[in-house]
Amino acid sequence: MNYKKIDKLVFISYKNDSLDQKKVNKISALLSKSDLKKYINGLKLTEKKKSLIISSPINDMDLRRFEKLFPNKKILFKKDPSLMLGVRIVDNDIVYEFTLRNSLDKILNHIEQNYD
Amino acid sequence: MIDNDKIIGELEKKLMTFGGTSKTQNVGVVIKNTDGVIVASGISRAVMGEKVIFKNGSIGTILNLDEDNASIILLGEASKIKEGDTLKTSGQMLGIDVSEELLGRIIDPLGNPLDDRPKIKKGKNMPLEKIAPGVVDRQPVNTPLKTGIKAIDSMIPIGRGQRELIIGDRQTGKTAIALDTIINQKSNKKQVICIYVGIGQKRSTIAQVIDRLSLEGALSYSVVIAACASDPASLQYLAPYAGCAAAEYFLEKGKDVLVVFDDLTKHAWAYRQISLVLRRPAGREAYPGDVFYLHSRLLERSVKLNKENGGGSITALPIIETQANDISAYIPTNVISITDGQIYLQTDLFNVGIRPAINVGQSVSRVGTSAQTATIKSVSGKLKLELAQYRELAAFAQFGSELDPTTQKQLERGKRLTEILKQPQYSPLSENLEFLSIYAVVSGLMDDIPLESFPRFEKDLHEFAKKRYSNVLEALSTGEKPTDVTLKQIAKLVSEFKKLFE
């Protein structure tokens, strides 16, 4: 089965923006092993596209602002002390960095590239 | 020693740009790794040819963009990348850092030094892939690039900005011609920067080339870019583009550059390997459909710029290795059609002692006499004509029938011309000495010299001329057509030397 057909199956597996258990069971029972792998990957990718991961070193983060900025996304919060300060937003394959860690990495990178 | 205040000052300046701004990264995940060709998902904003950086610091470049994934060629060790590793795009196209510091160095296609000398300081980043200069920026090829090889300079002249293919079987002296040309640039008034790109060569061969260039004092104005047979195919594929990018740096400064691609057959092999792993449809001889474009976009970058653009030039000497003298194979015909002429070397000629083993009949320079000085031009016409007549007659003479005196004379002259065009390796000649040798034969001044004495006679004649007739050699160095007085002096010089020659 080609990727286009798999994408179609993934698309019809959703009902009101969430997975329909019955449809998923029915589809997965009919697929071969290799197609099932493609189907699972397709579902994972779609879920990834629908969600937004916010990472921050602090616990009490106000997520409402992000809900306004990304209205159609399911927002997940992740605590990451290594970021030091600021916030990192992961939207599928795009990463927005507003962290101190990122600034320090940039300085380090600049020094490594320009000085022996 | 770098000034501490300067470093801190620069960092402070840089700090201004770090704060406040966000950094957007486009990331992806490795799906599979097939012998250095990586398929990754994500990286939806990536563009063709963009540099990507893997989690472990390895770099790669994008060669295929599909709907859901991208194919990347890895420029490093393939075994370190595994499924699930993350990668990010860099927003930069693949490039090489070039500066004057590269002169005399041996580097890989990414600019990393391969010699045991200090690290190369950061220079200007030159993109590996670049569209060749347009028609308006160019001017016709009109300045000769002297190879120092009599047969080439007189009959198949190479001009600055030309692309001249060197083609032949293995062990016919292809690299030797390229090296002689590099060595001959030592004596130029306007220094020609030479770049030798070794693609898929044995490390021992590259070592020999470096050793020879160093021995002849040619390394100081040369750069050697090596992607050896044991290096990944991706590096071999990039090597000629890196050579061209380095050449373009010097071109921008108005300099003349000579680039030798040794050899493009192995470059095509490397590209074929990558393309097959990328599952691109295979065409003739299993090469992908764009193998012509692979070489045409590379060689199109050799250029002679007009004065408004600095007047620099890039001359390309691509080398192609044929199998059993078959120049009608796929890659040879492609490159022949792209270049402005070819120097065809033959094993048969090499084996009978004609070295350089140039097949004059099948070699051609499409730039023609516009890439010759008036001095050489004045003698090359007659030389070409007499050699062509000799080849015609030699075919008939093989039947063994009796020949009239005129024919015999022409055959004898042809033999002498063939003999004078022989030249030992690593001994390129200046234009005045080339003219002296060829003129002495073409005008019949050496008709009474036995053929077997030719090499010694020529060598001693040159020494004699340098000592006693330096004014004649000076007159021949001007690039002007020799006057009757000069020609008479040459006749006197030769006859005087003949008396001394035993």
Domain ranges of chain B: 26-93, 97-371, 375-500
Mean pLDDT of the region B349-366? 94
- Closest-CA residue of A relative to B40 is A93
> For position B19, what pLDDT does the model report?
54
- Determine which one of B272, B366, B416, B456 is catalytic: B366
- Chain B residues in contact with A54 by the CB 8 A cut-off are none
The Cβ of residue A85 has, within 10 Å, a number of other Cβ atoms equal to: 13
Residue B128's identity, in one-letter code, is L
A31 and A62 in a common domain: no
pLDDT reading at B211 higher than 60: yes
A108 and A64 in a common domain: yes
Structure letter (DSSP) for residue B379: H
Contacts of B396 (CB under 8 A, 6+ apart): none
Q: Flag the least confident range among A97-111, B208-222, B233-247.
A: A97-111
Residue of B19, B24, B122 with shortest CB distance to A96:
B24
Mean pLDDT of chain B: 92
A72 and A31 in a common domain: no
CB-CB under 8 Å, A102 with B23: yes
> For position B15, what pLDDT does the model report?
64
Which CATH number is B97-371 given? Answer: 3.40.50.300
B141 compared with A62, residue with greater pLDDT: B141
Report the DSSP beta bridge partners of residue B165.
B342
CB-CB under 8 Å, B18 with A45: no
Q: Compute the nearest-CA separation of A72 from chain B (Å).
A: 19
The tokens describing B478, both together, are 């001007």
Mean pLDDT of the region A2-6? 85
CB B494 within 8 A of CB B469: no
% helix, strand, coil for chain B, step of 5: 45, 20, 35
CB-CB under 8 Å, A115 with B67: no
- Closest-CA residue of A relative to B41 is A93
> For position B143, what pLDDT does the model report?
93
CATH architecture type of domain B26-93: Beta Barrel (2.40)
CB B416 within 8 A of CB B451: yes
β-bridge pairing B192-199 and B256-262: parallel
Q: B196: helix, coil or strand?
A: strand
pLDDT digits (tens, 9 = 90+) for B182-198: 999 998 888 899 999 99
CB-CB under 8 Å, A94 with B24: yes
Task: Return the sign of the alpha-carbon dihedral for residues B12, B13, B14, B17.
Answer: positive
Mean pLDDT of the region B414-421? 94
- Closest-CA residue of B relative to A4 is B67
> For position A62, what pLDDT does the model report?
81
Number of domains in chain A: 2
ipTM score over 0.90, yes or no = no
Q: Where residue B5 falls among pLDDT bands split at 50, 70, 90? A: confident
- Closest-CA residue of A relative to B122 is A114
Cβ of residue A46 closer than 8 Å to a chain B Cβ:
no
The tokens describing B158, both together, are 């190479």
Q: Where residue B319 falls among pLDDT bands split at 50, 70, 90? A: very high
pLDDT reading at B404 higher than 60: yes
Q: B141: helix, coil or strand?
A: coil
CB-CB under 8 Å, A113 with B15: no
pLDDT reading at B401 higher than 70: no
B366 is annotated as an active-site residue: yes
> For position B244, what pLDDT does the model report?
98
pLDDT digits (tens, 9 = 90+) for B143-189: 999 999 999 999 999 999 999 999 999 999 999 999 999 999 998 88
pLDDT digits (tens, 9 = 90+) for B248-279: 999 999 999 999 999 999 999 999 999 999 99
Q: Where residue A1 falls among pLDDT bands split at 50, 70, 90? A: confident
The tokens describing B146, both together, are 């002297």
A58 and A43 in a common domain: no
Helix axes A33-50, A3-12, angle to 10 degrees: 60
A59 and A21 in a common domain: no
CA angle B388, B355, B352 (to 5 degrees): 80
> For position B350, what pLDDT does the model report?
95
Name the CATH superfamily housing domain B375-500: ATP synthase alpha/beta chain, C-terminal domain (1.20.150.20)
pLDDT reading at B20 higher than 60: no
Q: Flag the least confident range among B43-57, B220-234, B389-403, B458-472.
A: B389-403
Burial of B191 (0-12, 13-18, 19+ CB in 10 A): middle
Mean pLDDT of the region A36-54? 88
B159 compared with B399, residue with greater pLDDT: B159
pLDDT reading at B137 higher than 70: yes
A67 and A107 in a common domain: yes
> Range of A60's domain?
51-114
CB-CB under 8 Å, B122 with A114: yes
pLDDT reading at B212 higher than 80: yes
Cβ of residue A110 closer than 8 Å to a chain B Cβ:
yes
Task: Return the sign of the alpha-carbon dihedral for residues B62, B64, B65, B70.
Answer: negative
Q: Which ranges in B3-144 belong to alpha helices (H)?
A: 4-18
- Chain A residues in contact with B119 by the CB 8 A cut-off are 116
Q: Where residue B369 falls among pLDDT bands split at 50, 70, 90? A: confident
How far apart (Å, rounded) are the C-alpha atoms in residues B158 and B315?
9
A74 and A35 in a common domain: no
